Structure 1
Amino acid sequence: MDIAPAAHRFDQTTLGRLGFGASTLGNLYRRMSDAAAAATVHAALDAGITYFDVAPHYGFGLAEKRLGAALAEADPQESTIVSTKVGRRLDAVAPGTDLSALRQAFVSPEPYESVFDYSYDAVMRSWEDSRRRLRRERIDILYVHDIGRYAHGDAHPRLFRELMDGGYRALRELRDGGAVGAIGLGVNEWQVCEEALAAGDFDMMLLAGRYTLLEQGALDSFLPLCAARGVRLVIGGPYNSGILAHGVKGPGPFHYEYQPASPEIVARVAAIEALCDTHGVPLAAAALQFPLAHPQVASVIPGMNSAARVVQAVALAEQAIPATFWADMRAAGLIRADAPTPA
């Protein structure tokens, strides 16, 4: 297999500005039928979406199975680009476990639970198992799932050593041997991405919720480091747990970082929403398009839980936003002065 350097292969041209975050296919928070899952993937393909991101953790294999079944039917030549994740093994649940209950944020009939494991053997098994569930000869991008202090707190140094001593070696073997096209992290913090880039050779980073209309701290050191190293970013969580999708005009509750939003965050979103109204711009469109202006960002991957949501996301990504809106956002101090904005 001819593998070009990942920094050149995976950009907005190849991944597409809008990708598909497939956590919803694993019954995230609520059930989705197999038929609805298939219809959602087919709607994405019909809309021209060519990049799908998934993980074993999403429904404990269910999301990978559903995505694999839909793509096997609609894309037998594997022309789409698929990323999945390693770092969580799937262990059998205890006898008597209620599979209809919410478990680790999913309502999944799969009799497994996910357990963090960044060892060499776990990464290799995870890759093989994902290929089987996805029904694919290759997986284009492998991300290490949820390494870092955000997920592990004080256990992070031990787990990071486990990754670099074990799992990273497996990732390098897979990439350097041509079995995967790129390796990286899939995380909710940019700090561990910097730590990983200091310790190893990674191509891509999937960063969720940390470069958005509400957060641009990654501009200080991380995004310049990515530019210097030729590392591309995929942005997950562009709506910051939904507050940038729905706004704060209603009665709430409003969520940010998977918990109730602070008064300061609500006030900031209200100010952004007011400027959106002044310029006739949907808040969700501004949130979706903002990260794409940075030259290191290869794609934005909101979660989509229905065919209608796919159509909506495509419309938001294509929504015309006047340059005066971004100028007013900058003048009001609602985005950083050094943040690139859409042309």
Structure 2
Amino acid sequence: MVLDHGGRLNEAAKRWGIPRSEWLDLSTGINPVGWPVPDIPAEVWQRLPEADDGLEEVIREWSGASPSAACVPVPGSQAAIMALPGLRNPCRVGIPEPGYREHGYNWRNAGHTTIPIGPEQTRCGLSGCDDRWLDQVDVLVWINPNNPTGKIIPPSTLLRWHQRLQKRGGWLVVDEAFMDATPAFSLCTQAGRPGLIVLRSLGKFFGLAGVRAGFVLADDWIAGNLRQALGPWALSGPARYVMRQALRDRGWQNKARVSLQQNMGRLREVLQEARLTLVGGTVLFQTVRADNPVILADQLAAQAVLVRVLDQPGMLRFGALANEKQLRQLMGALAVST
């Protein structure tokens, strides 16, 4: 079984009979104005990847990770999502609901028992926080910010959860695929603690999903076993080269945060003007409620606008816009469809 994801543009073009070049693809949550990839030296293509090329040092500097944290470059965080379940014997794994389905799918596929963790379990009341729900799991996977709600759990809360899990040899796996626009909430600076695993990717904020590049910060034991599971040369030489350059480009990153925030504010206004109820989101996507999400998605697709119908009942996700032209195309499609 292969789970469906956004970005199936060829399939949409064929189904609706609209040329690929005419589509506005808002189904993926990927920055539509990605980091500008420079020419890659020929030597990078001709030689095997080398682990001592300075990539890990660049990652540490960029993320603020401590010297105690082990760093594993990976071919996209998806590779780590698939490999990590094989590093533990079958156990109980908490999976956020709603959330990115690949986490639960891969832990179940490896023989683990998954337990859905909803907002009611993680909410703190007037009398304080009751974390006893953590005692029913051995591993907790958390998506921060959440996909698709955009909710962010503060680092202090996540570290409290990690401490409770770690006392029993448990793990906290934090998927920070959408964290780049809000780096103050990242747990990268805390990596290296036993049983704490942080996943990052170049796919979303940097708009480089096609390069399949990311990294994992963890303790030495987990990192060593993850490297062994992935095998030699897991991340290609061109991907390592691109990651080094992109992470060093702080100027582009700062400008991208501002631009994405401005564009997302305009998208939110357009969605509200179309009388869609906002559920939440990040600078890379907004999630809305709709009475008939499949029908609305089909109506938008008939206008060459591709959005993501989520597994959660009554939810649609709209990705970030690149420019005013795309905004006008979306407004026109919504005017016909809502």
TM-score, scaled relative to structure 2: 0.30
Larger Rg: 2
Please report the TM-score for the alignment, with normalisation by the length of structure 1: 0.30
